[in-house]
């Protein structure tokens, strides 16, 4: 065979050539350990993916293998991959002169993590949300540029303002945080996802008022377990602080308050801000509790449904961070509906070169195995299309299975990219989804300058759905601020998939109220 393979310099760090692998030689302890170390390196360089070319010498000369030699080499690779916490994802065979050249794709996979929580971080613009998360992940004091780790869009960097929801990751092992030097490094994040005993996935929301709907999407669209409300000591609570707190409480989230920039104000100002926060919490039926010692954490851990811990933090000195680490490492994960049919609400849609269409979001229920046949939709007419889940990633780590509570990206095949939209669902066919046009709900009006009557058209936010609805009152002539009522809502432009019991927020410029779906009236 005259074929000779070569790669441009720097593009072969995740590719390994193997002429032949022999069980009696390469599965001996020392040789196997050497191959495992080599494979881990290739997986790290490839961001969780390695490519092995079988039947080719180290110099790139194709020599080929017989069928028996090829299968034996594959078995050795499987054994070595198991040592590395990886699997053979795909095998490609090329035949010439009765000899086989093989291309084997090996992927890291994350073991099922029993303790995985999702935490939404909200608060007013420039109150320090992104800085707080960057310092948590790195364990390094703020140098004035830590926010760059999360604000990655050009206009975000230029204005120092987050304009979209960002995702961050913190791992714990034996109760200690697994720190990383650069949160933007995919290999580091992938390693945390693979090796941590507990994962905390953060949803870094937007504090600027014009992008409030983006924050609502971040909180409602993911399967959030806890909320962190950030309040800067120099500004104190603002109208945005109150709005973000209201959204978290509407979703029945346990809340933690971090008073940031504690180093920028006097002790008297700190006490004043904490008193303002405490008064705000008391007005909404929560009990504020200032955390000053490790013993205080023991008091609040199992009472977060009503008690709100308040922690003072300062990024330049990492004041309060040890208490926050201790609290996050001990927060229990909620019981997830893993035995229900798989369901994910699409939050983002990507077109990845070499991969194709990828949809991402948090798994609401059930389990997903790579290669599964699924449904995606609804489209404008309420139809669902069959697709295949080609692969799954979580925080840049390739995994073979995901379950309720995971934030994942799924490469799908079988649908045109321009037909995919935020608000759609990806689900198991046994869910038998039907798109909904009209439904009944119980609502509470939080703020409104006048009265809400029949024909009112707010924007409804439910999961990752953001859509105009037309409202009809069922038990009253009108509703005003502070009142509750039963209504019928109809999607104005297209149907969506919603279910009884789903909670939502409705807005008209600002958040006007919250509600719960009680009955489906009309399906598409």
Give per-residue pLDDT as tens, 43-88: 877 777 889 999 988 777 888 999 999 999 999 998 898 888 788 8
- Rounded Cα gap, residues 177 and 189, in angstroms: 13
Q: Which is higher by pLDDT, 166 or 25?
A: 25
111 confidence band (pLDDT: 50, 70, 90)? low
Q: Which is higher by pLDDT, 451 or 13?
A: 451
Position 46 scores a pLDDT of 78
Position 149 scores a pLDDT of 52
C-alpha 244: how far from its chain's center? 19
User: For the segment 130-161, what is each residue's pLDDT rounded down to a tens digit?
Assistant: 899 989 999 999 876 655 555 443 333 344 44
Using CA atoms, how far residue 127 sits from 231, 246, 353, 469, 501, in Å, is: 6, 18, 37, 33, 34
Which of the residue ranges 53-67, 179-193, 210-224, 381-395 would you say has the lowest mean pLDDT?
210-224
Position 303 scores a pLDDT of 92
- Domain 115-330: top CATH class: alpha beta
- The conformational region for residue 43 under phi > 0 = left, psi -120 to 50 = alpha, else beta, is alpha
Position 190 scores a pLDDT of 72
Long-range contacts of 181-189 (CB under 8 A, 24+ apart): 181/138, 182/138, 182/149, 183/134, 183/137, 183/138, 183/149, 183/150, 184/149, 184/152, 186/47, 186/396, 187/44, 187/45, 187/47, 187/396, 189/395, 189/396, 189/397
What would the mean pLDDT of 484-496 be, rounded to a whole number?
Answer: 96
- Rounded Cα gap, residues 287 and 275, in angstroms: 12
| Ranges of each domain in the chain | 15-108, 115-330, 343-431, 436-523
Bridge partners of 231, per DSSP, are 259
Q: Where would I find the H helices in 284-366?
A: 294-300, 321-330
CATH 2.40.30.10 applies to domain 436-523: yes
User: Any idea which residue has 């509470």 for tokens?
Assistant: 444
Task: For CA atoms 83, 86, 89, 92, give the dihedral sign.
Answer: negative
Position 159 scores a pLDDT of 41
CATH 3.40.1160.10 applies to domain 343-431: no
- Rounded Cα gap, residues 362 and 405, in angstroms: 6
C-alpha 140: how far from its chain's center? 24
- Give me the phi and psi of 290, to 5 degrees please: -75, 130
Position 328 scores a pLDDT of 95
248 confidence band (pLDDT: 50, 70, 90)? confident
Position 405 scores a pLDDT of 83
Q: Do the beta carbons of residue 138 and residue 177 sit within 8 Å?
A: no
pLDDT at 348 exceeding the cut of 50: yes
How many residues are present in the chain?
524
Give the whole-number percent of the chain exceeding pLDDT 90.
Answer: 51
Which of the residue ranges 260-269, 310-319, 510-519 would you say has the lowest mean pLDDT?
510-519
Mean pLDDT, the chain, integer: 85
Which of 114-128, 216-230, 417-431 is most confident?
Answer: 417-431
Which CATH number among 3.30.110, 1.10.150, 3.30.60, 2.170.240 corresponds to the domain 15-108? 3.30.110
Residues 6 or more apart in contact with residue 187 via CB below 8 angstroms: 44, 45, 47, 396
Q: Do the beta carbons of residue 220 and residue 115 sit within 8 Å?
A: no
Q: Look up the pTM and report it.
A: 0.67
- Rounded Cα gap, residues 463 and 363, in angstroms: 11
Residues 6 or more apart in contact with residue 250 via CB below 8 angstroms: 503, 505, 514
Position 213 scores a pLDDT of 56
443 confidence band (pLDDT: 50, 70, 90)? very high
Q: Do the beta carbons of residue 199 and residue 115 sit within 8 Å?
A: yes
Q: Do the beta carbons of residue 290 and residue 313 sit within 8 Å?
A: no
User: For the segment 352-390, what is each residue's pLDDT rounded down to a tens digit?
Assistant: 877 789 999 989 999 998 889 999 999 999 999 999 998
Q: Is there a common fold for 343-431 and 436-523? A: yes
What would the mean pLDDT of 440-465 be, rounded to a whole number?
Answer: 91
Position 212 scores a pLDDT of 52
C-alpha count within 13 angstroms, C-beta hemisphere, residue 78:
9
Among 394, 508, 488, 485, residue whose Cα is nearest residue 111: 394
Which of the residue ranges 44-53, 285-294, 511-520 would you say has the lowest mean pLDDT?
44-53
User: Any idea which residue has 């987050």 for tokens?
Assistant: 162
What would the mean pLDDT of 445-465 be, rounded to a whole number?
Answer: 90
């Amino acid at each position: 065979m005259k074929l000779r393979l070569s790669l441009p310099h720097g593009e072969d760090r995740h590719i390994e050539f193997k002429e032949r692998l022999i069980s009696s030689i390469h599965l001996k302890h020392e040789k196997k350990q050497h191959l495992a170390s080599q494979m881990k390196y290739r997986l790290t360089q490839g961001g969780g993916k390695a490519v092995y070319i079988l039947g080719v010498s180290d110099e790139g000369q194709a020599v080929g293998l017989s069928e028996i030699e090829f299968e034996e080499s594959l078995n050795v690779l499987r054994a070595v991959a198991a040592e590395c916490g990886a699997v053979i994802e795909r095998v490609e065979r090329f035949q010439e002169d009765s000899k086989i050249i093989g291309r084997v794709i090996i992927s890291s996979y994350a073991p099922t993590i029993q303790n995985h929580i999702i935490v939404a971080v909200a608060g007013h613009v420039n109150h320090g949300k992104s800085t707080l998360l960057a310092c948590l992940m790195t364990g390094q004091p703020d140098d004035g540029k830590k926010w760059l780790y999360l604000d990655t869009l050009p206009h975000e960097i230029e204005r120092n303002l987050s304009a979209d929801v960002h995702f961050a990751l913190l791992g714990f092992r034996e109760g200690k945080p697994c720190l990383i030097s650069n949160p933007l490094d995919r290999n580091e994040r992938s390693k945390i996802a693979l090796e941590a005993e507990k994962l905390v996935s953060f949803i870094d929301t937007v504090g600027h008022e014009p992008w409030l709907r983006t924050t609502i999407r971040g909180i409602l669209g993911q399967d959030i377990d806890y909320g962190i409300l950030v309040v800067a000591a120099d500004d104190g609570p603002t109208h945005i602080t109150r709005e973000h707190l209201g959204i978290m409480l509407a979703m029945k989230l346990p809340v933690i308050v971090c008073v940031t920039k504690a180093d920028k104000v006097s002790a008297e100002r700190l006490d004043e801000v904490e008193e303002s926060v405490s008064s705000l919490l008391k007005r909404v039926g929560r009990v504020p509790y200032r955390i000053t010692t490790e013993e205080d954490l023991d008091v609040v851990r199992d009472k977060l449904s009503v008690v709100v811990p308040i922690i003072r933090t300062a990024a330049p000195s990492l004041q309060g961070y040890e208490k926050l680490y201790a609290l996050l490492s001990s927060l229990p994960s909620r019981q997830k509906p893993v035995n229900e049919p798989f369901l994910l609400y699409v939050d983002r849609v990507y077109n990845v070169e070499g991969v194709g269409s990828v949809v991402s979001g948090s798994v609401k229920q059930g389990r997903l195995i790579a290669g599964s046949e699924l449904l995606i939709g609804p489209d404008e007419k309420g139809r669902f299309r069959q697709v295949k889940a080609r692969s799954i990633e979580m925080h840049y780590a390739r995994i073979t299975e995901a379950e309720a509570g995971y934030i994942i990206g799924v490469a799908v095949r079988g649908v045109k990219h321009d037909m995919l939209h935020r608000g759609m669902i990806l689900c198991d066919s046994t869910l038998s989804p039907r798109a909904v046009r009209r439904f009944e709900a119980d609502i509470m009006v939080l703020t409104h300058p006048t009265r809400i009557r029949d024909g009112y058209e707010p924007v409804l936010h439910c999961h990752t759905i953001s859509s105009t609805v037309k409202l009809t009152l069922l038990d009253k002539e009108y509703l005003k601020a502070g009142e509750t009522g039963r209504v019928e809502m109809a999607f104005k432009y297209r149907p969506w998939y919603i279910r009884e019991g789903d909670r939502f927020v409705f807005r008209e410029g600002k958040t006007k109220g919250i509600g719960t779906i009680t009955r489906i009236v009309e399906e598409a």
